[in-house]
């Protein structure tokens, strides 16, 4: 009996001690107040639209979001956009300072009907419609674009048309000319006498020139000029006169050229500029507070393959008298091995200056950001051969299009902060109208043609986004 009572006593003692010891230890389940929580700005969004998440977690110090689209974020209250439609689950895992965790999730729906935001002009079956320029007619304020029309069935000569949009977005159309050579760049100079002076690039692998047509107010041809030795890429308006820039052959060498013209388009001053030690071109030009800056390049020109070698993109600085003050080669470029013929210098080139003074140059799929003196900040190369792409300044940021079907927004240092898959491939320009960005774009699609089967073609769409690359209803762009 003694042993029995001893065992009972020891058991009671052990239990009592155990309870007493635990009295000084708090139950973790009762102590943790960590919760995961976030709210969303809406539960149904469009492709490319920004969704704002607002954190409402308690006692969290680390945040880990999984948006369900292979993107993650560790920001406390991030924003996100989706490039594909469908249902997505956004999950949040939070941690407190003791490494405890909690989870929370919400579902959203991304509308996939991107096409509902666009307008599609009529283009005959079997035809390509490629936009190669767009802008605003200064004589009436209407949006216009230049279209290259290609018959993909009968393979007849391609033709250029001037299209102008009315308030109903139905384009009027005027024939301009037949295409002679490869053309991926064009622009219109609206003259003081009412005429339209239209320039087209005119290149072959070895040929480097341009095609210039002047039409009167009734679209009747008044003059035409084809050159195998001069290519003017664009112009700046200076009071009533114009400053054209480009390249022109002089004593066997293509030199950077400035050509001044009066209000009626008559040239009265041609200035050759020495940039580097060999051939050079000025492909885009802007006016600055103390002169001008041009974006172009230097290269070696051969009469056999490769027709162009050693291409180097360059910024050229001018004073107010158009005297070259300095040049700055854009470092980290890979274009020296990619540009091997004149056709590769045939396309859209852009140069802008941001509100902080930084310069941004874009051409041949390569984006370069420098400071105001041309010192390198960042370079992006998108590795594409589609040279009909756009860029626009938004002051402290900028937007470009890329041939892989995206609009991309960058901060002043060249860091990408947003992108939108807009389903197109070719945008020559972006226009800012009523704080919205309007574009005419070419997109690839397929058509079934009788007796030919399925044919790959390029068609045109009209679209608009806001400055944060959220797609908007096109009909509201002028409201």
| pLDDT reported for residue 45 | 86
Residues 10-18, mean pLDDT to the nearest whole number: 40
- With a cut of 80, say whether residue 30 has pLDDT above it: no
Report which of 61, 63, 50, 68 is spatially closest to residue 92, judged by C-alpha positions. 63
Residues 457-467, mean pLDDT to the nearest whole number: 95
Q: Which of 147-156, 248-257, 383-392, 468-477 has the lowest mean pLDDT?
A: 468-477
- Burial label, 20 (beta-carbon count in 10 A; 0-12, 13-18, 19+): exposed
| pLDDT reported for residue 49 | 80
Residue 477: pLDDT band with limits 50, 70, 90: low
Residue with tokens 């003059």: 223
| pLDDT reported for residue 84 | 82
Q: What residues does each domain of the chain span?
A: 28-111, 116-476
Contact, 58 vs 34, CB < 8 A? yes
Residues 58-78, mean pLDDT to the nearest whole number: 95
CATH number of 28-111: 2.60.40.10
| pLDDT reported for residue 141 | 93
| pLDDT reported for residue 398 | 98
Burial 260-289 (b: 16+ CB within 10 A, else e): bbeeebeeeeeeebebbeebbbbbbbeeee
Which residues, 6 or more positions from 471, have their beta carbon under 8 angstroms from its beta carbon? 46, 47, 48, 49, 114, 117, 420, 422, 463, 464, 465
- With a cut of 60, say whether residue 14 has pLDDT above it: no
pLDDT over 70 for what percent of the chain? 92
Report which of 471, 466, 418, 435 is spatially closest to residue 78, judged by C-alpha positions. 418
Which helix (H) or strand (E) segment holds residue 187: the answer is strand 186-190
Q: Which of 25-39, 211-225, 296-310 has the lowest mean pLDDT?
A: 25-39
Of residues 234 and 192, the one with the higher pLDDT is: 234
Residues 2-17, mean pLDDT to the nearest whole number: 40
Residues 199-217, mean pLDDT to the nearest whole number: 96
Residues 47-73, mean pLDDT to the nearest whole number: 93
For residue 27 the two structure tokens come to 């139950």
Residues 315-333, mean pLDDT to the nearest whole number: 96
CATH number of 116-476: 2.130.10.10
Residues 331-357, mean pLDDT to the nearest whole number: 96
pLDDT over 90 for what percent of the chain? 78
CA dist list (Å): 21 to 7, 13, 16, 28: 21, 12, 9, 16
pLDDT per residue as tens digits for the range 104-140: 999 999 876 667 789 999 999 999 999 999 999 998 9
Q: Which of 11-25, 192-206, 218-232, 381-395 has the lowest mean pLDDT?
A: 11-25
- With a cut of 50, say whether residue 388 has pLDDT above it: yes
pTM, 2 dp: 0.83
| pLDDT reported for residue 6 | 41
- With a cut of 90, say whether residue 234 has pLDDT above it: yes
Residue 66: pLDDT band with limits 50, 70, 90: very high
| pLDDT reported for residue 26 | 46
- With a cut of 90, say whether residue 15 has pLDDT above it: no
The per-residue DSSP string of 326-380 comes to EEEE-TT--GGGT--SGGGG-S--EEEE-TTS-EEEEETTEEEEE-TT--EEEEE
Q: Which of 249-253, 338-342, 473-477 has the lowest mean pLDDT?
A: 473-477
- With a cut of 50, say whether residue 7 has pLDDT above it: no
Phi, psi of 271 (to 5 degrees): -125, 120
The per-residue DSSP string of 435-456 comes to TEEEEEEEEEEEEEETTTEEEE
Q: What is the largest CA-CA distance in the chain?
A: 129
Residues 263-277, mean pLDDT to the nearest whole number: 94
Residue with tokens 């102008």: 164
Q: What angle do CA 275, 276, 280 make, to 5 degrees?
A: 55
Report which of 378, 371, 369 is spatially closest to residue 357, judged by C-alpha positions. 371
| pLDDT reported for residue 4 | 40
| pLDDT reported for residue 83 | 80
Chain mean pLDDT for the chain? 90
- With a cut of 80, say whether residue 21 has pLDDT above it: no
């Amino acid at each position: 009996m003694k042993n029995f009572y001893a065992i009972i006593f020891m058991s009671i003692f052990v239990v009592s001690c155990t309870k007493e010891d635990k009295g000084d230890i708090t139950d973790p389940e009762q102590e943790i107040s960590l919760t995961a929580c976030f709210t969303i700005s809406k539960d149904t969004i469009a492709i490319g639209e920004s969704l704002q998440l607002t954190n409402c977690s308690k006692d969290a110090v680390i945040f880990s979001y999984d948006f369900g689209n292979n993107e993650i974020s560790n920001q406390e209250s991030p924003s996100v956009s989706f490039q594909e439609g469908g249902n997505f689950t956004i999950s949040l895992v939070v941690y407190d300072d003791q490494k405890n965790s909690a989870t929370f999730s919400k579902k959203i729906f991304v509308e996939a009907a991107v096409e509902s935001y666009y307008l599609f002009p009529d283009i005959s079956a079997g035809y390509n419609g490629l936009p190669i320029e767009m802008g605003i007619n200064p004589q009436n304020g209407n949006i216009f674009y230049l279209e290259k029309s290609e018959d993909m069935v009968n393979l007849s000569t391609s033709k250029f048309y001037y299209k102008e949009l009315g308030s109903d977005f139905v384009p009027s159309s005027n024939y301009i000319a037949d295409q002679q050579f490869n053309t991926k760049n064009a622009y219109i100079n609206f003259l003081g006498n009412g005429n339209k002076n239209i320039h087209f690039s005119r290149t072959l692998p070895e040929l480097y020139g341009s095609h210039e047509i002047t039409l009167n107010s009734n679209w009747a041809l008044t003059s035409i000029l084809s050159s195998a030795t001069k290519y003017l890429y664009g112009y700046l308006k200076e009071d009533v006169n114009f400053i054209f820039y480009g390249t022109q052959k002089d004593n066997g060498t293509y030199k950077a050229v400035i050509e001044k013209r009066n209000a009626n388009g008559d040239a009265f001053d041609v200035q050759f500029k020495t940039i580097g030690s060999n051939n050079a071109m000025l492909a885009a030009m802007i006016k600055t507070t103390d002169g001008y800056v041009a974006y172009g390049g230097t290269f070696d020109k051969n009469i056999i393959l490769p027709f162009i070698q050693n291409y180097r993109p360059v910024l050229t600085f001018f004073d107010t008298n158009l005297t070259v003050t300095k040049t700055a080669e854009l470092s980290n470029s890979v274009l020296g091995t990619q540009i091997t013929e004149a056709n590769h210098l045939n396309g859209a080139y852009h140069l802008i200056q941001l509100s902080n003074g930084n310069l941004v140059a874009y051409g041949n799929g390569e984006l370069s950001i420098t400071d105001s003196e041309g010192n390198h900040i960042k370079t992006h190369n998108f590795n594409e051969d589609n040279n009909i792409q756009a860029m626009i300044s938004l002051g402290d940021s900028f937007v470009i299009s890329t041939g892989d079907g995206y609009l991309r927004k960058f901060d002043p240092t060249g860091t990408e902060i947003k992108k939108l898959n807009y389903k197109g491939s070719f945008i020559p320009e972006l226009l800012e109208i009523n704080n919205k960005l309007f574009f005419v774009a070419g997109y690839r699609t397929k058509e079934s043609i009788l007796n030919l089967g399925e044919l790959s073609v390029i068609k045109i769409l009209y679209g608009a986004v806001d400055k944060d690359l959220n797609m908007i209803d096109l009909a509201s762009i002028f409201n």
